[in-house]
Structures are given as structure tokens and as C-alpha cells.
Amino acid sequence: MYLLKLAYRNFFRNTRRSIISGISVAIAITVIIFAQSYMRGVIENISENIVRLISGHIRITTKEYERRERMIPLSEALDLTPELYDELNHEEILMVSPRIKFGVLLGEEELNIPALGYAIDPDKETHISGLDKRIVEGSYLDASSNGAIIGNELAKRLDLGVGDTLTIITRTAYDSPTGINLLVKGIFSIGIGGMDRSVFYIPFNVGQKLLDLEGRATELVIIVKDPNKAINIAREIRLRGDYSIVPFQYNPILKYINTFSFVYSIFYAIILIVACSTIANTMIMVVFERTKEIGMMKAMGLNNLSVVGLLTLEAGIIGFVGSSLGTVIGGILSYWLKYQGVDMSMMSSSTSADMPFGPIIYFSPTPMIIITGFLFGLLATIIVAFLPITRITKLEPAKALKTI
């Protein structure tokens, strides 16, 4: 206790120096907390977009469809049998919604604008994608009419507005030419460039008829009660036939991002090490500076352990101050951006439909992030300072006293 008091007072012997040393740690911790909150926010954002717009919590397709997914093979659609729906009657499953995804070329004169169409169940989809809330002009789809909703950028490219006609000419699942004129009922803006630029939605039964896929769908999108259980539920589903059942956590994009965020942890470690080395450096200088003092203390009977303890505590206090400062700043920034959100739609305007990023990223700091940030800052300082301190304080008192 006495040591602690002493250490505390020693902090103020050269306040400026102590503070400057602490600043490196403060900066490092601020950055680490900020970056982690950002990364988490990004992952949450992408996960949410994937669930809402691409796969739901669990996505079911035939195995063959998944293998050839790049080519959007309509012929590999699955059959919507009552047995299939029965097999999906799991207590954790809230909703099963069928979709047909199809690629078309659109255009007034020439068919040269590639677009992605989704035939969806308009009612069910309101619970999945919340598309009805993204309508910026006109109105949402309804199952009974031959309407379509298109992305705002796509609308611009096709020069179409609400009330105009969208002409789709494509091939059915059996390669027959097919087409339809649809009324543009509404225009949406999701905020994800790729989707606003090339996606449109039509009612499910209209899509089935158009593509000769009556009674079928290219994928089933499933919403469960507890997203965290999605992986287990996916494993529990038993379907007769060759199906691919993929929980959203296994979505390739998500896995890619997760891997990268892991790599960033390495960077955090490095930053922390650099920051701590400055404190260690300071302590070393301090020790040499106070060699006489240390010699005197030892002569007065203070043993090595106490000296080391004192110096370590001093380092600890600097670390504590730095870490606290960093934690507070990092925490405040992160929580502020959690409620404020960052509008990334500038960057998002060039994303492809494959990378559902944006439009607003909400930082996602957790108490865990804050606490570990603080603790790591503190611990790292003490550990990094410890070694040199022990080395250096092994001087003999007499020798120490002799130094000037």
C-alpha cells in the first residue's frame, strides 16, 4: 500500500513525461476499440443484408442448383411439394418463403442491360426484407396484380417511372422464349448500389408462369425464431432428396469478411505492442535517471522485490491512465457512432449485387470490447515494462550510488 502511494506520487514528479508516455497507450486503445466496433458493425450490417435480401436465416436449394449457381440454372429448381413443406415444419421455423431468381437482359431497343429478377411472395417478404419500407416512389408489390418494383438506379438506366411498362423477354426453364409486360408499381432504394442498379421484384406466381416453373422455386428462404440457432436448425432439417441447406453464417461472403476481421486482430496486437514499448522505454529511462535514488532505497533496506514492485506500479499507473483515457475516448466515439451510424452510401454506389454492404453502418461496441480494451492496455503495459525493470534494478546499491 505504501508502495502504491509512493508510485502515485512519483507519477506527478514529471507529470508531462508521464502523460506523454500514457498517450501512446491511450491512442492505441482508442484505435483498437474503435476499429473493433467498426468491424463488428460491418459484419452485423452485412449479415443483416444477407439475411434480408439474399438468403434469410437458412436457404434451401437443390444441390445441383448450388453447384451451378453462377449460371442461375432455372432448370435445377426445386419442386414445392406438400411433403417438402411438411418436412420443414420445425418448431423453431417461423416462415418459409419461396423465391425464383432469374437473370434477364432488359432494354428498350436492344436487350443489353443485364438485370436480376426475383419472383417473391410479397406478403411474406415484408417480414423478411422489409422491402415495403424501401419504396421511394409509387407503391409496393401486391400478389394479385402484374406489377413490378425496380431499383432506382435501374429505373434510371431503363428510363422508366412509376406507371410505365417494364418489358421482360427471356427464356423459360425449358429454353422457350417467354415474356411479359409489367406495370412499374413502385421504385425502391435499398442503399446498396449493386441492388439498386440491377434488381427488380415481381410477384411469385407471375414469375412461375413466366418461366414455366409452376409448382417450383429456385430457392426457399427460411426465417427462424432465434438466428443464433440457425446452424443447428439447418442441421436438424431432414429432407428427402438432394438439397443444399445453408444457414446464413455459412454464406461465403460472411466467411470471407470474418476471416479478414480475424487478421485485423493481429494488427491490433501489433499496435498495442508498439504503444507499450514506449512506456517500457520511458520506464527504462526513468530507472536510469533514478539509479541513485534506487541505490539509496536499497541501502535503506528496501529489497529488490519492492523496488521492482514500485517501478512496476509506476508503469502500471501510467498504463492505467493511458488505458482509461483510451477506453473512454474509444468508447464514447464508438457508442456515438452506434446511434449515429455512418453513411457509407458513397462507397456503396459501386458495389456489386454480390456484396451487400451498407448503406449505413452502425458501430457495434460491446462491453466486452471496452473491458478487454482497457485490460489489455493495462496488462500489456505492465508486462512489457516488467522485464526491463527487473533486469535493470539488479544493480548493487554501491554501484548505483556511484553513478552520476
Partner 1 sequence: MITMIKKMKITVISKFLLALSSIISLSLAQTAEEIIERVDNNVVVKTTRYRAKMLISLGGKIREKEFIGYTRGKEYSYMEFVSPARDKGTRFLKIGDEMWMYIHAVEKSTKIAGHMLRQSMMGSDFSYDDVAENEKLQDLYEIEFIGIDSVEEKECYKLELTAKVPEVNYFFKKMWVDKKTYIPVKAELYAKSGKLMKEINITDFQKIGKRNYPTKIIMINKLRKDTFTELILEEIKLDIEIPSKVFTKAYLERK
Partner 2 sequence: MRVLNLAWRNVFRHRRRTIITAAAISVGLAVMIYMDTMMNGLDNLAAGNIINFETSHLEIFAKGYYREEGLFPLDTIIENPEFILQRIAKIKTIKGVTPRIKFQCRINNGIDELPVLGIGIDIEKESKVFETANTVVRGEYLKNPDDILIGKDLAKDMDLDVGSFLTIITRDRYGTYEAYDFTVSGLINTGHPLLDRNAALMHINIAQRLLSMYGITELCIKTRDDNKLVQLKNEIAGKIGKNFEVYTYKELNAGIFEISGMKRSGQFMLALVVVIIAAVGIINTMLMAVMERIPEIGMLKAMGFGNYNIVKMFIYEGGFIGIFGSLFGCFLGLLASFHLVYYGLDLSHMLENIDIIYPIKFIIKGEINYMIVLGVFIFGVVVSVIVTLWPVRKATKLEPVEALRHV
Longest dimension (CA), the chain: 99
String marking each residue 31-60 x if it binds partner 2 according to CB under 8 A: x---x--x----------------------
How far apart, in whole angstroms, are the C-alpha atoms of residue 105 and residue 126? 27
250 binds partner 2 (CB under 8 A): yes
Cell of 144: 394479385
Sequence letter at residue 22: G
Q: How far is the CB of 165 from partner 1 (least distance, A)?
A: 9
User: What is the rounded (10 degree) CA torsion for 277, 278, 282, 288?
Assistant: 50
Q: Which does 111 bind (CB under 5 to 8 A by kind): partner 1, partner 2, none?
A: partner 1
Among 143, 355, 379, 383, binds partner 2 (CB under 8 A): 355
* Residue pair 60/359 in contact by the 8 Å Cβ criterion: no
Among 161, 179, 340, 371, binds partner 1 (CB under 8 A): 179
178 binds partner 1 (CB under 8 A): yes
Phi, psi angle pair for 111, to nearest 5°: -85, 85
- Give which of 370, 381, 379, 375 is closest to 275, Cα–Cα: 381
404 binds partner 2 (CB under 8 A): no
102 binds partner 2 (CB under 8 A): no
Q: How far is the CB of 178 from partner 1 (least distance, A)?
A: 6
Listed ranges 15-23, 131-139, 148-156, 328-336: which one lies at the site for partner 2 (CB under 8 A): 15-23
* Residue pair 216/79 in contact by the 8 Å Cβ criterion: yes
String marking each residue 251-290 x if it binds partner 2 according to CB under 8 A: -x--x---xx-xxx-xx--xx-xxx-xx--xx-xx--xx-
Q: How far is the CB of 179 from partner 1 (least distance, A)?
A: 4
How far apart, in whole angstroms, are the C-alpha atoms of residue 21 and residue 24? 6
Binding residues for partner 2, total number by CB under 8 A: 46
23 binds partner 2 (CB under 8 A): yes
Listed ranges 134-142, 167-175, 192-200, 384-392: which one lies at the site for partner 1 (CB under 8 A): 167-175
Enumerate the β-bridge partners of residue 224: 93
Query: Which is nearer to partner 1, 167 or 249 (by Cβ)?
Result: 167
Binding site for partner 1 (CB under 8 A): 111, 167-169, 171-172, 174-181, 209, 212
Binding site for partner 2 (CB under 8 A): 17, 20-21, 23-24, 27-28, 31, 35, 38, 67-68, 70-71, 114, 194, 250, 252, 255, 259-260, 262-264, 266-267, 270-271, 273-275, 277-278, 281-282, 284-285, 288-289, 347, 350-352, 354-355, 357
